[in-house]
């Protein structure tokens, strides 16, 4: 990890309220692995003391990019970032997705901008599998072309039925899981907590491994402040807080202790 | 003046190469920021609060950003004395930077016990006595806002430790000078202030407090002027060194504390914003001393003009 002053090269709308920020960041891009994140200091966000964490979407040729959606004060302020601006960034942070045991025919499960680190993953592995992308409407479905051009099968779901199958991403996942008799595909997921929990519970029930990337409000991003903690079950069965920024953000679904 | 100004300070026998420390709770136990901050540059490290046994702290959410700062209610999650010493002291001993341990307890006996445990630990420069954390039901601020309790606790801990003892004072008291003086009279070697200010944020849609603990402690630039005033009052009330903190983002912010009477300062929340803050503040203080032809930082301490 390091602090890098990254120069903005491209900042554009990719769909709906989603934007991609492409930065010249050779040091961070060179070290980045899928599932890791960067902690950005949002320029011109007056009165702000906290950085904002973003999963790494792409990291190649000394450039790094992130996908974001305007949802709060920080991300709204990011819309004003201009090409040529300098962005202060700490990264790469976190542990990323374990890829050693990816096996055959993995499932990637994405909700909204949670698709970003999974697109990065899809391009970094030799195997191909199925990608489940879910969103509220067609405008929340991103990166389909990324996966298709790499040879991954894409299954889209939207809650309003405006694109792909109508329903939640887990409905499509259920159909697919029923087809995987005898196999134990590995799942990789990133999205809202509710989706992650549903994916994790299905995978654990089926005896599959699922790696979930948690999205939490963070303070320091490096494991010092203990704000972004999640209850995790240890090997001895005891439950303790783990730091999403430092010990995660990716955890094995079978050890996450969700709130009741 | 061409000579480099003398940045070193001596706080209750703790020799620091400059007056800038990193504040408890904002720098972990050291290794967390080691890739980003050159620890050898710091005046001292104050590690996150330690009590006797592992303590799990509060439920989440534990932190919320507000205008000009953040409110935290971590609740002093920590590994306990033994695990801290075993896990982190080997790392911290590598540097010539003094290590000050922030300690707390759920009752007076525990404070005493924790303090005593550090007498035989190699590499500890001093103890900061946390009597002002707003985020734990036991201990913490209950001691820091009652002058009789604070005084009794400090004198009891004083009897159990041979290390420099630095009570960390609460800002939310009517006359902080009385608390500082009571600490001095009870045997404190220095005092540090301010801790965070009790604060709260409510989500108006759900009508619920945002923090799981409902209330927390406000830190960041918003509290800086409050802290300067409290440090100024405390410094006038005591003859022991005062360590000033609260909302430092720049060297100018730190210099205000020093002019108000602080012999040293601590950078806290700003490390989250920019991990290089402490180093920037150190450089800026040096540049100021040169610009004003001051031979050392000591000349500036308490130099406020009426």
Asked whether residue B177 is assigned to any structural domain, the reply reads yes
Q: Is B51 a catalytic residue?
A: no
Q: Can you give the pLDDT at residue A187? A: 97
Asked whether residue B2 is assigned to any structural domain, the reply reads no
Asked whether residue B118 is assigned to any structural domain, the reply reads yes
Q: Say whether A219 and B32 touch across the interface (CB within 8 A).
A: no
* Structural domains of chain B, count: 1
Q: Can you give the pLDDT at residue A173? A: 95
Partners of B70 in the β-ladder:
B65, B219
Decide: helix, strand or coil at residue B29: coil
Q: Can you give the pLDDT at residue A35? A: 98
Q: Can you give the pLDDT at residue A15? A: 86
The residue among A223, A226, A227, A228 with the most chain B CBs within 10 A of its CB, best to mutate, is A226
Is a pLDDT exceeding 90 seen at residue A6? yes
| Chosen CATH of A2-93 out of 3.20.20.60, 2.40.30.10, 2.40.110.10, 3.40.50.150 | 2.40.30.10
Q: What value does the mean pLDDT take over residues A14-24?
A: 93
Surface of B (268-287) touching A: CB under 8 A:
269-276
pLDDT > 90 in chain B, percent: 92
Residues of A in Cβ contact (< 8 Å) with B27:
224
Question: Residue A90's closest chain B neighbor by CA?
Answer: B36
Q: Can you give the pLDDT at residue B188? A: 98
Q: What value does the mean pLDDT take over residues A183-211?
A: 95
Query: Taking the C-alpha atoms of B102, B105, B108 and B112 in order, what is their torsion angle to the nearest 10 degrees?
Result: -50
Quick check: B198 and B172 in contact, CB under 8 A?
Answer: yes
- Distance (Å, whole) CA A75 – CA A85: 16
Q: What value does the mean pLDDT take over residues A121-142?
A: 96
Of B21, B74, B103, B133, catalytic: B133
Quick check: B222 and B247 in contact, CB under 8 A?
Answer: yes
Q: Say whether A226 and B60 touch across the interface (CB within 8 A).
A: no
- Distance (Å, whole) CA A120 – CA B256: 48
Counts for chain B of helices (H) and strands (E), in that order: 9, 16
Is a pLDDT exceeding 70 seen at residue B138? no
Asked whether residue B100 is assigned to any structural domain, the reply reads yes
Distance from CA of A192 to the nearest CA of B (A): 16
Question: Residue B61's closest chain A neighbor by CA?
Answer: A227
Is a pLDDT exceeding 50 seen at residue B107? yes
Domain of residue B150: give its range. 9-54+72-198+217-299
Asked whether residue B109 is assigned to any structural domain, the reply reads yes
Q: Can you give the pLDDT at residue B1? A: 47
Q: Can you give the pLDDT at residue B56? A: 94
The residue among A225, A229, A257 with the most chain B CBs within 10 A of its CB, best to mutate, is A225
Is a pLDDT exceeding 80 seen at residue A43? yes
Q: Please state the ipTM of this predicted complex.
A: 0.94
Per-residue pLDDT tens for A84-115?
999 999 999 999 999 999 999 999 999 999 99
Mean pLDDT value across chain B? 95
Q: Say whether A225 and B72 touch across the interface (CB within 8 A).
A: yes
- Distance (Å, whole) CA B102 – CA B87: 16
Q: Say whether B74 and A88 touch across the interface (CB within 8 A).
A: no
pLDDT > 90 in chain A, percent: 90
Q: Can you give the pLDDT at residue B2? A: 53
- The total of other beta-carbon atoms located within 10 Å of residue A164's CB is 20
Q: Matching CATH topology for A2-93 and A107-215? A: no
Residues of A in Cβ contact (< 8 Å) with B269:
49
How many Cβ pairs closer than 8 A exist between chain A and B? 91
- Distance (Å, whole) CA A39 – CA A93: 8
Quick check: B304 and B231 in contact, CB under 8 A?
Answer: no
Q: Can you give the pLDDT at residue B139? A: 62
The residue among B46, B61, B62, B224 with the most chain A CBs within 10 A of its CB, best to mutate, is B62
Residues of A in Cβ contact (< 8 Å) with B35:
1-2, 222
Is B203 an 8 Å CB contact of chain A?
no
Distance of CA A22 to the CA centre of its chain: 17
Residues of B in Cβ contact (< 8 Å) with A51:
272-273
Categorise residue A112: left if φ over 0, alpha if ψ from -120 to 50, beta otherwise: left
Q: What value does the mean pLDDT take over residues A176-188?
A: 90
- Looking at residue B178, the DSSP 8-state letter turns out to be H
- The total of other beta-carbon atoms located within 10 Å of residue B149's CB is 14
Per-residue pLDDT tens for A165-177?
999 999 999 999 9
Instruction: Parse chain A into domains and list their residue ranges.
Output: 2-93, 107-215
Give the domain CATH number at B30: 3.20.20.70
Distance from CA of B64 to the nearest CA of A (A): 8
pLDDT classification of B100: cutoffs 50, 70, 90: very high
Asked whether residue B61 is assigned to any structural domain, the reply reads no
Q: Can you give the pLDDT at residue A104? A: 92
Question: Which CATH class, in words, describes the domain spanning A107-215?
Answer: alpha beta
pLDDT classification of B142: cutoffs 50, 70, 90: confident
Mean pLDDT value across chain A? 95
- Between A46 and A227, the higher pLDDT residue: A227
pLDDT classification of A72: cutoffs 50, 70, 90: confident
Is B232 an 8 Å CB contact of chain A?
no
């Amino acid at each position: 990890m390091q602090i890098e002053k990254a120069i903005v090269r491209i900042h554009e709308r990719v769909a709906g309220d989603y934007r991609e920020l492409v930065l010249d960041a050779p040091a961070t891009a060179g070290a980045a692995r899928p599932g890791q994140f960067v902690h950005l200091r949002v320029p011109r966000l007056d009165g702000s003391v906290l950085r904002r964490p973003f999963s790494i979407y792409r990291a190649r040729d000394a450039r790094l990019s992130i996908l974001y959606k305007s949802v709060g004060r920080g991300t709204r302020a990011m819309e004003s970032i201009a090409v040529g601006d300098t962005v202060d960034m700490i990264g790469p942070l976190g542990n990323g997705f374990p890829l050693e045991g990816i096996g055959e025919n993995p499932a990637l499960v994405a909700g909204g901008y949670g698709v970003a680190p999974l697109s990065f993953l899809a391009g970094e592995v030799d195997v191909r599998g199925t990608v489940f992308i879910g969103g509220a409407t067609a405008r929340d479905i991103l990166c389909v072309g990324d996966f298709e051009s790499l040879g991954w099968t894409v299954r889209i779901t939207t809650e309003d039925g405006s694109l792909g199958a109508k329903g939640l991403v887990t409905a499509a996942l259920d159909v697919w899981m029923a087809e995987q008799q005898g196999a134990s595909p590995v799942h990789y997921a990133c999205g809202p907590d509710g989706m992650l929990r549903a994916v994790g519970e299905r995978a654990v029930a089926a005896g599959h491994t699922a790696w979930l990337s948690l999205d939490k409000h963070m303070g320091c991003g490096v494991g010092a402040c203990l704000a972004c903690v999640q209850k995790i079950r240890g090997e001895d069965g005891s439950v303790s807080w783990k730091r999403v920024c430092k010990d995660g953000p990716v955890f094995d679904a079978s050890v996450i202790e969700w709130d009741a | 003046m061409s000579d480099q100004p003398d940045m070193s300070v001596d706080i209750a026998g703790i020799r620091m190469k400059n007056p800038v420390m990193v504040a408890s709770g904002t720098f972990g136990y050291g290794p967390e920021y080691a890739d980003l901050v050159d620890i050898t540059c710091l005046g001292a490290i104050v590690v996150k609060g330690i009590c006797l046994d592992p303590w799990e702290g509060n439920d989440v959410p534990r932190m919320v950003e507000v205008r000009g700062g953040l409110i935290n209610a971590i609740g002093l999650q920590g590994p306990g004395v033994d695990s801290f010493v075993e896990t982190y002291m080997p790392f911290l001993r590598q540097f010539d930077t003094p290590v000050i341990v922030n300690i707390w307890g759920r009752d007076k006996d525990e404070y005493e016990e924790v303090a005593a445990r550090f007498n035989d630990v190699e590499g500890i420069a001093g103890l900061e006595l946390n009597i002002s954390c707003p985020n734990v039901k036991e201990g913490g601020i209950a001691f820091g806002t009652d002058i009789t309790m604070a005084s009794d606790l400090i004198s009891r801990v004083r009897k159990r430790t041979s290390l420099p003892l630095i009570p960390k004072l609460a800002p939310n008291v009517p006359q902080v000078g009385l608390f500082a003086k009571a600490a001095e009279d009870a045997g404190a070697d220095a005092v540090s202030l301010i801790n965070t200010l009790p604060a709260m944020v409510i989500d108006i849609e759900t009508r619920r407090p945002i923090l799981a603990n409902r209330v927390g402690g406000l830190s960041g630039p918003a509290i800086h002027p409050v802290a300067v005033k409290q440090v100024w009052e405390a410094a006038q009330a005591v003859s022991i060194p005062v360590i000033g903190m609260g909302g430092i983002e720049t060297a100018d912010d730190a210099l205000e504390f020093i002019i108000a009477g602080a012999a040293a300062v601590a950078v806290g929340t700003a490390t989250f914003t920019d991990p290089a803050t402490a180093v920037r503040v150190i450089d800026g203080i040096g540049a100021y001393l040169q610009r004003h032809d001051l031979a050392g930082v000591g000349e500036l301490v308490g130099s406020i003009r009426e």
